[in-house]
Amino acid sequence: ATQATVELTASMAGAGADVALVVTPCYYRGSMSSAALVRHYTEVADASPIPVVLYSVPANTGLDLPLEAVLTLARHPNIIGIKDSGGDITRMGLMVHKTQREDFQVLAGSAGFLLASYALGASGGVCALANVLGAPLCQLDRLCREERWQDARSLQHRLIEPNTAVTRQFGVPGLKKAMEWFGYYGGPCRAPLAPLSPPQVEELRGTFTGNGWL
């Protein structure tokens, strides 16, 4: 609900957040037209004491924030970017191209296509895999900014399978398990998410080992 999002955004600002990452409302997906989404985000951004970043994650919501809505919202002074996790590189390239005159950043929502996003002009990424392999992702960022594309490509290739494993394949339980292997605290999952089974743990470990991370 828009009002609930406004209230939660204000509470996060009060807790010290610098930016609010606002996912697309999706429960009544059939009613989430471009106009409805523009109205929702506009009301949230108008009321928010901190800048807003749009968040499109169709794998989890079943709803892709329409390109025309993104371009309209990019003109709002308190909407400063989008985290796009859809993986449609053509769409991301168009966003970068069409928002060049706005104070608006296009951010890759996954480590699996971070290099491709940089090549098309994205500003950066917000990646689940960074909870596990933060330093390599920062290295990929540096390589891209320095235009060392061959080194960046080699590194990107080694990140694709681990990224898939801790997102689409095993999700949060996989991410938490991998964090433990790298010295972080993943902790238990909240129901209804269940911890990985022993065979799943071995498959996940094999993915990281096979790409040289363990």
Report the catalytic residues: 83
φ, ψ of residue 204 to 5 degrees: the values are: -65, -45
Residue 15 exposed, middle or buried by CB count within 10 Å (0-12, 13-18, 19+): exposed
CA angle 150, 151, 157 (to 5 degrees): 90
What are the distances in angstroms from CA 4 to CA 20, 97, 167?
A: 14, 33, 27
CB 180 within 8 A of CB 187: no
